[in-house]
């Protein structure tokens, strides 16, 4: 079942992403060679009447693509020039490139809204909940209901930012600023080393308030604020990775995602829905980065083309994307190796 959930989650997220590119390409009159879910060897394909596009399902459920005319290195003379991506307006090309990212964010917002409307909208402020006796948080003077503002001088005012800062500072003593009855207080808390399921870890001894609100408006607010909060968390993660404050072990590839799917499935259907929303935001965010072979890389070249006032050499651009894709595959292999080591 974990494998089935894994394929379904990645399949849905990729399908939604690629459909964004596909539908805007079609609306802009771009010739679409292939719309594929999955990578690697093709399992089967089908076509529709009066439609040039081949629809494919491929073996590896780790991605997908929408192949457009005008993106290839060698010019395809069989396709009319006005139906090629490169001949479209700047606005049309930007919309086609951005549509997949937009669809991923929309999917996440819809899924988070469904979670909130059926189960209640969790509050996202970093409010201290229960404090365990015998742990540093209890003896420090921290109290239930305190609103956490910063950890070591960095913003930790939401659950997502707090989780990230605790991950960055795992095992370290933290300086915490909290607000209590309008007054800002400071606490220094040293973690306690404990064993959980035979593994050593560090605990400060407090949990976050998990109060939920009900209603249509609360659900709408939660779906948007949670999406933005997770996006900002990902921006900071990239910064921490670049500055060495987080290692590559913090990232997960397909093997790592597969292992997390099993844990999410154990939590029930809504846990899986929440995980799907998180994966969708991740895919949208990664594609927003100006990395060759991703949508952000294409958007970067489109902006460069607009600034220059003339098209970027297609051969140069495609070569950059090809090199970028090769380097990304090397990174994926390294991340997958780390995932396997963690499982072992």
- Per the structure block, which two tokens stand in for 240? 């921490």
Is there a catalytic annotation at residue 147? no
> How many other CB atoms are there within 10 angstroms of residue 60's CB atom?
12
> How many other CB atoms are there within 10 angstroms of residue 182's CB atom?
5
DSSP-derived letter for residue 251 is -
Of 18, 71, 177, 317, which residue is the catalytic one?
Answer: 18
- Per the structure block, which two tokens stand in for 38? 């999955």
Task: Give Dmax over CA atoms of the chain in angstroms.
Answer: 75
Give how far the C-alpha of residue 341 lies from the chain's centroid of Cα atoms, to the nearest Å.
23
- Per the structure block, which two tokens stand in for 344? 């072992």
- Per the structure block, which two tokens stand in for 298? 């294409």
- Burial-class residue 127 by CB neighbours within 10 Å (0-12, 13-18, 19+): buried
The C-alpha atoms of residue 134 and residue 328 are separated, in whole angstroms, by 46
In contact, 339 and 256? CB cutoff 8 Å = yes
In contact, 99 and 294? CB cutoff 8 Å = no
- Spatial strand order of the sheet with 174-180 comes to 154-155, 147-151, 174-180, 183-189
State the residue for tokens 């894709």: 325
CA dihedral sign, ordered 214, 216, 219, 221: negative
The three-class DSSP label of residue 144 is coil
Tell me the sheet residues that pair with 131.
Answer: 206
In contact, 335 and 251? CB cutoff 8 Å = yes
> How many other CB atoms are there within 10 angstroms of residue 45's CB atom?
13
The C-alpha atoms of residue 118 and residue 215 are separated, in whole angstroms, by 9
The set of catalytic residues is 18
């Amino acid at each position: 079942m974990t494998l089935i959930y894994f394929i379904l989650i990645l399949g849905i997220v990729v399908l939604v992403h690629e459909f964004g590119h596909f539908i805007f390409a079609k609306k802009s009159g771009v010739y679409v060679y292939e719309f594929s879910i999955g990578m690697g060897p093709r399992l089967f394909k089908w076509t529709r009447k009066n439609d040039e596009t081949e629809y494919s399902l491929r073996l590896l459920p780790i991605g997908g693509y929408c192949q457009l005319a005008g993106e290839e290195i060698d010019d395809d003379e069989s396709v009319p020039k006005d139906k090629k991506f490169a001949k479209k307006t700047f606005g049309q090309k930007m919309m086609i490139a951005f549509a997949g990212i937009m669809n991923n964010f929309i999917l996440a917002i819809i899924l988070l809204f469904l979670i909130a409307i059926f189960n209640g909208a969790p509050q996202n402020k970093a409010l201290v909940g229960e404090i365990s006796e015998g742990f540093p948080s209890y003896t420090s003077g921290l109290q239930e209901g305190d609103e956490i503002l910063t950890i070591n001088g960095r913003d930790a005012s939401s659950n997502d930012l707090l989780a990230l800062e605790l991950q960055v500072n795992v095992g370290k003593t933290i300086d915490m600023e909290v607000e209590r009855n309008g007054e800002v207080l400071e606490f220094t808390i040293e973690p306690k080393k404990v064993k959980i399921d035979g593994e050593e870890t560090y605990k400060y001894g407090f949990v976050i308030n998990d109060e939920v609100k009900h209603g249509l408006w609360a659900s709408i607010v939660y779906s948007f604020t949670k999406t933005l909060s997770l996006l900002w968390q990902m921006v900071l993660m990239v910064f921490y990775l670049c500055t060495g404050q987080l290692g590559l072990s913090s990232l997960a590839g397909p093997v790592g995602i597969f292992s997390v799917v099993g844990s999410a499935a154990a939590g029930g259907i809504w846990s899986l829905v929440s995980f799907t929303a998180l994966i969708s935001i991740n895919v949208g965010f990664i594609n927003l980065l100006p990395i060759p072979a991703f949508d952000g890389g294409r958007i970067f070249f489109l902006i460069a083309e607009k600034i220059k006032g003339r098209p970027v050499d297609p051969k140069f651009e495609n070569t950059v994307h090809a090199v970028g894709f090769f380097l990304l595959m090397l990174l994926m292999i390294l991340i997958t190796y780390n995932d396997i080591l963690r499982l072992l």
